[in-house]
Structure 1
Amino acid sequence: MHASTPFPTWHRPYLALFEQVLWSHAQAIAEAYPENQRERYRAAALTLRIPYWDWAIHPAMPDATTQPYIQVNTPFGVQDIQNPLYQYIFQANATGNGFPPSNPLANMPTTVRWWKATTQSSDQGAATAALEANAATILSLTYQLFTMTTNYTEFSCSSPGGRFVTANNVESIHNSIHNSIGGYGHMQFPEVSGFDPTFWLHHANVDRLFAMWQAVYPESYMIPTVNTYGSYYELPGTVDSGTSALAPFHSNQDGNRLWTSDEVRELKTFGYSYPEVPDWSMTPEQLKRNVQTYVNSLYNPNLNTTRVWAARDLQKKSVNLAQSFGTVTLDMAQGLRVNSLKEQYSITVVVDRFPTESSFVIDFFMGSAPEDISSWATAPNLVATYAQFGPANVTALHPDGYPSGQISGEISITHTLAAGVARGIIPNLMPKHVIPILHDGLNWRARSPWGTEVPLEELSGLSISVSSRTEVSSDARDGFPSYGPVVWQGSVVRGKPCGAVRPYGFNH
């Protein structure tokens, strides 16, 4: 259910079903421990839930997922075992697994992340490097998920040719994490990504953000929306609503009823919650204020270190745009409090849902892209990456032709510009200083999951636009900022490949 309104609600029973199976195994394992340990493990098994990984403030692969072997106290004593969070070992060959033969990862014996053909192994370090390269923009997008919107669902508008443009803020962030973890591996492709153990840590966090969003906006939920692309269960053009079935997840043991979005609205339906959402002990208003306080402390902490960063980096002043605006770490973005700055800048990407045979990404740079395509994902002058989360072979998925329609994603670039201010390159973030710099320095290139360049003109329906908006911060611990209207900065993209004064189909 990607690029559709039920994206977050569909994944909720998906997570719950996986957790149910995991929990059942845990109960059986607990009973196998020696009698003097059994009660301890019974108690632990009863409270077992899927852990979440907050990649917005921890942009590195969790240690638990990067070690091939771990030491565990098993019912038969302490043993070294293969780490089940490191990789999944497939139980059969491509045919036995039911993978499409066209999938480039079909014959891998295990899941891989950033596969390197030269070494015939995963590069776990590359996954962390890719996460860190996009950390600053993910931090801003996560904060803006709560502060810049009043509805988690998609917005839709018409574009040239009558196509539909859809966007979902939380899904756009989700796509970027998939791409950063997978690289040239399983997490890059929706048809096989669920086999990578990090899929569950990642999606538990997506569900957590959705639950937090629900607490902040309790009156907003599922607006009936056309599912432009359909799914294995729905035909294109189906209207998704709160009562639509979330197939194939059944809500009863007989298997004759399917969950709906309305039925999974409350976390207590499945017997879990998150630290920020103690919904059993607070009124809705208390819960809202509690979550907003957490959102500010996690994703816009008041570190008061802007001057330290400015003094430290002034010596980096350079006429080279790539050096002057590059290498903005999460630590620096937090120190500069990029989510509280008076001017906020973003890139909006609109493109056909299926413009190529496979998924792709667009890397945005300040200055020229490096010559070596394999270095784009972690280049020092990388501003951010837009990720299209699509199948390995679209034709195999849609043999009768691709459904028409477009999707949209947004990338925050305020962190890059704030670094320029801290380094003395520009005096402030006023458009009169920023727009000429972006016009001269902002560039973009596209690449495939296999590390080859994709010509931009081959990405049908692609438009790239830059916008700004003012922000008025709140002094309250549980207060959110307010924002001015979007101002499209057309001169930034004028004359550049697929540049558009404003995105196709946007009238605001």
Structure 2
Amino acid sequence: MASVRQPRTLLPILFALFFFLQSVVAANSHQHKHRSKLETIEERSNILKKRATIAVTGITGSVYPRLEIRTLANNADQWNLYLLGMQRFQAVDQSDPLSYYQIAGIHGRPYVPWNGVQGVNQGGMCPHVSNLFWTWHRPYLALFEQVWYSHVQEVVNSFPASQQSRWATAASTIRIPYWDWAMAPPSGQSDVPTLIRDKTVSVTTPSGQQTIDNPLYQYTFHPVSNDLGGFPYNTWPTTLRRPVDSNAALTRSNNNDFASIMDSNRISLRDRVYNLFVTTAQFVQVSTEATGEGTGNPSSHDSFEGIHDSIHVISGGESGGHMYYLDYSAFDPVFWLHHCNVDRQMAIWQVLQPDTYVVSGIQTQNNWQWSAGQVKNAYTPLKPFTKDVNGNYFTSMDIKSTSVLGYVYPETGSGSSQSSVRSAVNSLYGPGSSSSKRSISGRSDEFDGRPIRSGDYEYLLNINAHKYSLNGSYTISAFLGNVSSNSTGWATSPNLVGSNGVLAMWGSMGNASAVEIEGCIPLTTSLQGKVATGELESMQPYHVSKYLKTHLTWTVVGPGGVVVPPDQVPGLHISVSSCPVEPAVAHDEFPTWIGTPQVMANVTVGKPAGAPYTPPSSTVVPYYPGSPNSPYYPTSTMSAPWYNPSNPAAEPGYCVVDQTVVYVDQHGNYLYEEKNS
């Protein structure tokens, strides 16, 4: 542990900060071997140096909050810099490793090395459906923010000298924003801000006021590449959301459709987020939708990854927009706003549950750097993100705190506590909160819910499914009442309760049994609405069970908007559960779920895919999408693990860190220190 002697002057603090920041204890007492430095590439700016090994630092210096996109837009100068920085970032030549194109390409396609990480499989680098899903994204977002900020600094320096002080002040505290799709939007506005949907935007440039293409509306490929796969993705010149004609080389986004479907699902999404904050669970349960033997995740029914999938699927749409498929999603600018919000949700959850974190778990599917079946833990290198130019990778332990990467969130900043976070969560997402009241007109999606009362129950529609049951992503939607067998209008039906999206890879039908996932659609708010209109006698299980058996239906919509009978979707199981819940005693407390939700088997019995779910007892089967003729299929080298799959410490780059962080004020005076191991 780092020690600081009295008197605590600036010099000892600096020594403590720089020389005792990390003491590395190699697993099994072996020496940690660093890669040799590779040849330095030309320096682009004094803000960010491009090296053969790229160090992810985030924005260095002081720590400032990432703000909700609508809040950031209220600061005209910072909003202006954010947009101009994004414009410059997206314009960088696609051959540059720090281009928008290549950084987005880390997540999925074009399946090429980045930062020296060579592939062992064909696939993107993001470890979806695993214990590292969330932590991997934190340094990924920090890399994006770091490179974007270098362009913001260039923008500041491009203004006349007489104006630079103004813009430098605005830039000094700016961070990338998040889009909180679960909070109530301002009155009369859509859940999807026009800031994301407007095709053009007015900005202040060094040459004066100009109208430019909105860099949040789409990314323009320059050029579009065959590395993106087959038609239409190798022909579409821009990213698209819910494309109008997916079979055309030239088509357009339908952002109005995107907005209306998000509006129809917002209350359901809000309830899912709120329930995850309210219920007590382990980190792995709330962070990943993966379930099954070896994943570390016992049955929990919902997760931030599961909710995250739904935003992807709604944004991209069944017509195959880029967000609809894991491979292409990071090219759409909305990806970064969305993932920043997921990172924020987990940061909030960490304040509420500080004593649980990443546990060992298997990788459920192949990606670029790992193979299905390999075990990873909190000290696994989060490739390809190195924390220095010597090739030392971040681990999940390195990034438990967002402040090490230069940012916090409004709920998790200085002075935050569990009490203040609970109060903020209740205000933003609590059912019936004053921020999002709606009128009752008999439509389930127009009732905002009410505060929990003594004797109430929580009702959930639970989804167990296979990630790759269909030939791509798909959506399971629940209704209280009938819905047309035609896919048109299902997403905004008056009877819609909510939807659970399943994010998959393009053309990913394969060994569907390998990747088990869970999801959830809360029923409580819609049922409260039925009580309010007199359609349901009470919220007690006897009345609810009888009502649901008659009125609860669900549908599955796959790629191309094809409606698939639920009982023809391999691995799909739908159930309903209930749990007694007691109200909170104060605004800074949560309601209390009594026990665990119990399945109401009589509600779904005899309905399509309504048979009880039984967890498989067999070990996980590696998932290889496609046929033996597919480029995804394993070769003799790819099919065998490149190191002992059951021993995380055998992976090159694995490193156990015993870290002490010493905090000082702006004058270098000692404040406190934290040990992280």
TM-score tier (shorter) = 0.7 to 0.9
Q: TM-score, normalised by structure 2?
A: 0.66
Tell me how far apart the structure 2 counterparts of residues 80 and 48 of structure 1 sit (CA, whole Å): 22
Q: Which runs of structure 2 are paired with 1:99-118 in the superposition (5 Å)? A: 99-101=228-230, 104-117=232-245
Q: 1:354 aligns with which of 452, 464, 468?
A: 468
Equivalent AA in structure 2 for residue 224 of structure 1: S
Q: 2:448 aligns with which of 311, 326, 333?
A: 333
What is the SS of the residue equivalent to 1:374?
coil
**Corresponding position of 1:52:** 178
Superimposed CA distance per residue, residues 95-139 of structure 1 (whole angstroms, 9 cap, x where no aligned partner): 1xx21216x433211111111129932111111111111111111
Tell me how far apart the structure 1 counterparts of residues 148 and 543 of structure 2 sit (CA, whole Å): 54
**Corresponding position of 2:83:** none
- 2:361 corresponds to 1:250: no
Q: 1:432 aligns with which of 524, 527, 542?
A: 542
CA contact (8 A) 1:71 1:79 kept: yes
CA contact (8 A) 1:488 1:501 kept: no
- 2:299 corresponds to 1:169: no
Tell me how far apart the structure 2 counterparts of residues 303 and 158 of structure 1 sit (CA, whole Å): 36
- 2:361 corresponds to 1:264: no
- 2:326 corresponds to 1:190: yes
Identify if the C-alpha distance between structure 1 residues 340 and 44 changes in structure 2 by more than 3 Å, giving closer, same or farther. Answer: farther
Q: Which runs of structure 2 are paired with 1:448-463 in the superposition (5 Å)? A: 448-463=558-573
Tell me how far apart the structure 2 counterparts of residues 154 and 192 of structure 1 sit (CA, whole Å): 26
CA contact (8 A) 1:215 1:288 kept: yes
Q: Which runs of structure 2 are paired with 1:22-171 in the superposition (5 Å)? A: 22-57=148-183, 58=185, 60-95=191-226, 98-101=227-230, 104-117=232-245, 120-154=251-285, 158=292, 169-171=303-305
Give the stretch that moved more between structures: 21-30 or 112-121: 112-121
Greater strand share, structure number: 1
Tell me how far apart the structure 1 counterparts of residues 150 and 462 of structure 2 sit (CA, whole Å): 44
**Corresponding position of 2:377:** 241
What is the SS of the residue equivalent to 1:245?
coil
Shift of 1:504: 4.2
Shift of 1:142: 0.8
- 2:423 corresponds to 1:293: yes
**Corresponding position of 1:275:** 410
Q: 1:374 aligns with which of 488, 492, 507?
A: 488
Equivalent AA in structure 1 for residue 409 of structure 2: Y
CA contact (8 A) 1:69 1:80 kept: yes
Identify if the C-alpha distance between structure 1 residues 501 and 455 changes in structure 2 by more than 3 Å, giving closer, same or farther. Answer: closer
Q: Which runs of structure 2 are paired with 1:307-346 in the superposition (5 Å)? A: 313=440, 326-329=443-446, 332-334=447-449, 336-337=450-451, 342-346=456-460
Structure 1 unaligned spans of 5+: 317-323
CA contact (8 A) 1:230 1:238 kept: no
Q: Which runs of structure 2 are paired with 1:417-496 in the superposition (5 Å)? A: 417-484=527-594, 485-496=596-607
What is the SS of the residue equivalent to 2:448?
helix
CA contact (8 A) 2:466 2:513 kept: no
Shift of 1:165: 7.1
Tell me how far apart the structure 2 counterparts of residues 197 and 340 of structure 1 sit (CA, whole Å): 44
Overall identity of the aligned pairs, in %? 33
CA contact (8 A) 1:446 1:456 kept: yes
**Corresponding position of 2:631:** none
Equivalent AA in structure 2 for residue 211 of structure 1: A
**Corresponding position of 2:516:** 406
Tell me how far apart the structure 1 counterparts of residues 229 and 568 of structure 2 sit (CA, whole Å): 25
Q: TM-score, normalised by structure 1?
A: 0.87
User: Paired residues, what number?
Assistant: 474
Shift of 1:228: 2.2
Tell me how far apart the structure 1 counterparts of residues 336 and 435 of structure 2 sit (CA, whole Å): 35
Identify if the C-alpha distance between structure 1 residues 341 and 238 changes in structure 2 by more than 3 Å, giving closer, same or farther. Answer: farther
**Corresponding position of 1:321:** none
CA contact (8 A) 1:338 1:414 kept: no
Superimposed CA distance per residue, residues 34-59 of structure 1 (whole angstroms, 9 cap, x where no aligned partner): 12211111122232211011111136
Equivalent AA in structure 2 for residue 293 of structure 1: S
CA contact (8 A) 2:302 2:520 kept: no
Shift of 1:87: 0.9
Equivalent AA in structure 2 for residue 243 of structure 1: Y
Superimposed CA distance per residue, residues 385-412 of structure 1 (whole angstroms, 9 cap, x where no aligned partner): 11110011116xx7xx567131111110
Equivalent AA in structure 2 for residue 292 of structure 1: R
Give the stretch that moved more between structures: 341-350 or 495-504: 495-504
CA contact (8 A) 2:579 2:598 kept: yes
What is the SS of the residue equivalent to 1:333?
coil
Superimposed CA distance per residue, residues 370-429 of structure 1 (whole angstroms, 9 cap, x where no aligned partner): 24312111111111111110011116xx7xx56713111111011111110010112210
CA contact (8 A) 1:300 1:339 kept: no
Tell me how far apart the structure 2 counterparts of residues 449 and 177 of structure 1 sit (CA, whole Å): 16
CA contact (8 A) 2:432 2:448 kept: no
Equivalent AA in structure 1 for residue 144 of structure 2: F
Identify if the C-alpha distance between structure 1 residues 402 and 300 changes in structure 2 by more than 3 Å, giving closer, same or farther. Answer: closer
Structure 2 unaligned spans of 5+: 1-126, 618-677
Give the stretch that moved more between structures: 449-458 or 8-17: 449-458
CA contact (8 A) 1:344 1:469 kept: yes
CA contact (8 A) 1:69 1:83 kept: yes
Identify if the C-alpha distance between structure 1 residues 32 and 157 changes in structure 2 by more than 3 Å, giving closer, same or farther. Answer: closer
Tell me how far apart the structure 2 counterparts of residues 6 and 121 of structure 1 sit (CA, whole Å): 35
Shift of 1:75: 1.1
CA contact (8 A) 2:381 2:394 kept: yes
CA contact (8 A) 1:229 1:403 kept: no
CA contact (8 A) 1:224 1:242 kept: yes
What is the SS of the residue equivalent to 1:23?
helix
Equivalent AA in structure 1 for residue 445 of structure 2: V
CA contact (8 A) 1:360 1:387 kept: yes
Shift of 1:505: 5.8
Superimposed CA distance per residue, residues 269-313 of structure 1 (whole angstroms, 9 cap, x where no aligned partner): 1010011112xx44xxx621111111111111664799x98xx74
Equivalent AA in structure 2 for residue 196 of structure 1: D
